[in-house]
């Protein structure tokens, strides 16, 4: 069987075993809390796993191990770990006390470096590479680095955070004794040395150095001498399935939100790109071009490995509130990593073949999906009620960016050679003078500049709460028009990278193309967004209250659960309205567009980062082969996924779907799909006071306007009660949910 077929079968069996363990717990056949898995966990972690490490190290061809590959994988994980720690500390529930944010950031950082090396990594590399290249020693080396360096280091960091948290909680209590940091550091060092994985790694190295002459050659490598090899093989043979089942049994909680998805992107996408980029610089140049490409592609595949269940154990000890978030990230990561690794195998199997044609087909499919999403976005945008007096800046910027993306998607479909080749022929004759180049680039850069404007608006709001009240609808439209005009400048000097790649299959091909302006523009956008993010974080830290005045954990969790409520900023309005009338008005259902803007900002940072790496790689090698082909496919999918992501962010908001449904009800032939009739709709309007708060976008920016509407609602209730059309009105969140 081909490597791709073997990998597909391995992925199928691997994830089936994980699902089997998850199903056993969900059906309550096994209860981990009751201790049903204690013996299995001990055998896997303390016996089978260390013996497998010993066999791998003792029989490895250490002379063929390239240190640069291990360094690239380890440094890539370290870079992503640091970025995740900073992002989580700054942005995840920033109103909590600093020790709590410190521990959460550490737990999230561990997720990005805790690769499932043995349970999933070993079977995958064995299926993909077989006996041609011994990639098992690279899996082992990276696992040893993680177990001996990253995990102990994060345990020390978490211990410091725990001590900090305890000292804040016991402030003023002199009797509370707590071990010093030096004592904890010493204890952590002892735990590292007692770790069975570290011990068996040392034993394996000693055996390889002192008793290496006893190893038996098997043609493609070495085996331990019999009967030692038979004993080790017998003891380690259950490891694969038991480790996978244990992974499934640990995934007991599921809580879908923005942060698990962000963690999956950091672990499965950014880590793969960073390790691939570092591998190109750190792999030894004396290995030959083919071996260098194989190791670089391996580093890309290694960065995609899903996380193990160790972050769950870590979170249960140091930050129990984050267990559902990390468990969800592990589940989503496994679901995403399977298709990504299989796609990687397709490209790696044809590492010497130019994959431009395949890239064009994938791009065309993603463009069709983006175009359909664009039509859906336009329908949603037109269906939403519009009040020019209550239009906020974020709605104008998001709507304009969405329209620009629709234009970009339509132009890309018309440009793709699978539909017609005339546009690509004109582009190939004179790329910089082509109208296709200008209009596609203008639409693409318009959305980019608008998202940067959203980030600037958020930073300005954070520095001055009165800032958003200065924006009239005309000023907001003027900012959007300025962004549209500014996008013309980069469109004159840059070339859309996806157009350049998909038009390579059309003859005659374009000659020499200057890509320096593309690189400069990409780096400028990326550094600008990073700079604004740093300024925003600094301003946020200045505005955060002291730990003693921090929000309670449950209050912060409620705020985090609702995307609209996070950025609404209308607490004073709700208090004033509540004093005027004792009506249960759910403030979480106020449309703000700020949560949508925040999601678009994060997605663009990731997308631009992917383009930075791809742009840097083009200067070294522009052949669409191997891992670079998949990197371009990922960039293409992310480029065309902007509209689906935008629609998903709008639907994830608590208030925007309600606004869209209200608008669709006004269409005669669609009204029956959203309500039982006009009479029922009027009845729901009478019953639901929140309908008076949801008109337009002014909920967050014009909170005081709700008081007059509330009085009108009370008057309507009294009138309806007098006429007998309403009996015993009951106000609840459930009634607003049906609306």
Structure token digits, residue 231: 């004993």
Question: In this structure, are residues 601 and 709 in contact, taking their beta carbons and an 8 Å threshold?
Answer: no
For position 690, what pLDDT does the model report? 44
| Two structure tokens written together for 661 | 């449904």
Q: Give pLDDT, residue 468.
A: 56
∠ CA 416-650-522 to the nearest 5 degrees? 50
- Cα 297 to Cα 131, 335, 346, 415, 627: the distances in Å are 17, 21, 12, 31, 5
What is residue 222's three-state secondary structure? strand
- CB-side neighbour CA atoms (13 Å) of 363: 33
**Domains of the chain, start order:** 3-349 (1.20.1530), 356-544+588-651 (1.20.1070.10), 668-737 (no CATH)
Low-confidence ranges of the chain (pLDDT < 50): 174-176, 545-589, 676-714, 716-717, 720-739
Rounded Cα distance, 65 and 208, in Å: 14
Look-up: residue for tokens 């995403």?
A: 336
- Dist. CA 435–CA 426, nearest whole Å: 9
How many of the other CB atoms lie within 10 Å of CB of 681?
17
How does DSSP classify residue 358? H
Q: Which of 197, 187, 170 is nearest to 54 (CA)?
A: 197
222-223 and 216-217 strand pairing:
antiparallel
d(C-alpha 148, C-alpha 142), whole Å: 10
> Which of 282, 363, 233 lies closest to 641, judged by CA?
363
Preceding omega of 300 cis (within 30 degrees of 0) = no
- For the whole model, what pTM was predicted? 0.61
- The string of DSSP letters for 56-71 reads HHHHS-GGG--HHHHH
pLDDT, residue 122, reads 80
With a CB cutoff of 8 Å and minimum separation 6, the contacts of 372 are none
What is the pLDDT, as a whole number, of residue 670? Answer: 58
**d(C-alpha 20, C-alpha 404), whole Å:** 45
Radius of gyration of the chain (CA): 29
Residue 56 contacts residue 283 (beta carbons within 8 Å): no
User: In 3D, which of 336, 481, 466, 306 has the Cα closest to residue 399?
Assistant: 481
Q: Please state the length of the chain.
A: 739
Q: Left if phi > 0, otherwise alpha if psi is -120 to 50, otherwise beta: which for 728?
A: left
Evaluate whether 407 touches 651 at the Cβ level (below 8 Å).
Answer: no
Distance CA 343, CA 340 (A): 5
H or E segment at 223?
strand 222-223
The predicted structure's pLDDT at residue 483: 92
Residue 721: predicted pLDDT: 45
How many angstroms separate the CA atoms of 363 and 640, rounded?
Answer: 8
């Amino acid at each position: 069987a081909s490597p791709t077929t073997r990998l597909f079968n391995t992925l199928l069996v691997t994830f089936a075993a994980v699902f089997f363990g998850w199903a056993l717990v969900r059906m309550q056949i096994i209860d981990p809390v009751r201790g049903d898995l204690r013996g299995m966990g001990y055998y896997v972690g303390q016996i089978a796993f260390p013996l497998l490490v010993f066999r791998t190290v003792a029989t490895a061809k250490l002379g063929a191990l390239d240190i640069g590959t291990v360094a690239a994988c380890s440094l890539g994980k370290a870079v992503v770990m640091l970025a995740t720690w900073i992002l989580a500390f700054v942005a995840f529930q920033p109103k909590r006390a600093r020790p709590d944010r410190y521990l959460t950031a550490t737990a999230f950082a561990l997720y990005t470096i805790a690769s499932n090396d043995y349970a999933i990594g070993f079977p995958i590399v064995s299926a993909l590479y077989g006996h041609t290249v011994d990639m098992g020693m690279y899996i082992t080396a990276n696992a040893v680095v993680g177990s001996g360096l990253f995990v102990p280091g994060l345990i020390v960091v978490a211990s410091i955070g725990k001590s900090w948290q305890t000292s804040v909680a016991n402030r003023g209590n002199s009797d509370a004794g707590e071990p010093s940091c030096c004592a904890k550091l010493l204890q952590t060092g002892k735990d590292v040395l007692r770790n069975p994985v570290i011990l068996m790694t040392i034993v394996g190295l000693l055996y390889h150095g002192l008793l290496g002459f006893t190893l038996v050659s098997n043609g493609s490598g070495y085996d331990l001498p019999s009967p030692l090899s038979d004993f080790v093989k017998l003891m380690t043979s259950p490891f694969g399935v038991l480790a996978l089942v244990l992974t499934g049994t640990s995934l007991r909680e599921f809580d879908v939100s923005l942060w698990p998805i962000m963690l999956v992107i950091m672990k499965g996408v950014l880590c793969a790109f960073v390790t691939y980029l570092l591998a190109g610089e750190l792999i030894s140049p004396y290995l030959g071009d083919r071996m260098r490409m194989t190791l670089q592609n391996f580093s890309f595949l290694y960065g995609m490995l899903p996380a193990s269940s160790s972050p769950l154990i870590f979170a249960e000890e140091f930050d129990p509130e984050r267990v559902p978030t990390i468990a969800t990230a592990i589940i989503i990561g496994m679901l995403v990593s399977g298709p990504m690794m299989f796609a990687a195998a397709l490209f790696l199997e044809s590492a010497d073949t130019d994959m431009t044609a395949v890239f064009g087909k994938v791009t065309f499919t993603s463009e069709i999906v983006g175009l359909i999403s664009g039509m859906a976005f336009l329908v949603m945008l037109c269906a939403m009620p519009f009040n020019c007096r209550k239009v906020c800046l974020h709605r104008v910027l998001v709507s304009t960016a969405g329209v620009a993306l629709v234009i970009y998607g339509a132009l890309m479909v018309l440009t793709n050679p699978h539909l017609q080749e005339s546009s690509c022929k004109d582009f190939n004759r004179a790329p910089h003078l082509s109208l296709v180049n200008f209009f596609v680039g203008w639409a693409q850069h318009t959305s980019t500049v608008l998202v940067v404007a959203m980030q600037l608006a958020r930073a300005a709001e954070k520095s001055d709460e009165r800032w958003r009240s200065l924006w009239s609808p005309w000023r907001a439209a003027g900012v959007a028009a300025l962004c549209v005009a500014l996008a013309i400048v980069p469109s004159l000097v840059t070339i859309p990278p996806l157009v350049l790649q998909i038009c390579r299959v059309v003859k005659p091909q374009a000659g020499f193309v200057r890509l320096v302006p593309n690189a400069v523009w990409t780096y400028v956008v990326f550094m600008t967004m990073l700079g604004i993010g740093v300024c925003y974080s600094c301003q946020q830290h200045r505005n955060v209250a002291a730990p003693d005045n921090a929000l309670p954990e449950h209050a912060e969790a409620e705020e985090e659960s609702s995307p609209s409520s996070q950025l609404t900023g209308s607490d004073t309005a709700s208090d004033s309205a509540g004093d005027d009338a004792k009506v249960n008005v759910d403030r979480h259902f106020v449309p703000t567009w700020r949560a949508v803007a925040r999601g678009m900002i994060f997605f663009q940072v990731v997308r631009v980062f992917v383009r930075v790496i791809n742009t840097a790689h083009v200067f070294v090698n522009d052949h669409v082969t191997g891992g670079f082909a998949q990197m371009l496919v990922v960039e293409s999918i992310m480029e065309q996924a902007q509209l689906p992501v935008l629609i998903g962010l709008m639907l994830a908001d608590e208030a925007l779907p309600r606004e869209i449904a209200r608008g669709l009800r006004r269409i005669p032939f669609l009204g029956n799909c959203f309500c039982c009739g006009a009479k029922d709709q009027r009845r729901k309007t009478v019953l639901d006071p929140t309908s008076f708060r949801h008109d337009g976008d002014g909920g967050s920016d014009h909170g005081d306007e709700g008081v007059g509407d509330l009085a009108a609602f009370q008057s309507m209730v009294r009138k309806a009660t007098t006429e007998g059309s309403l009996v015993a009105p009951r106000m609840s969140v459930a009634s607003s949910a049906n609306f």
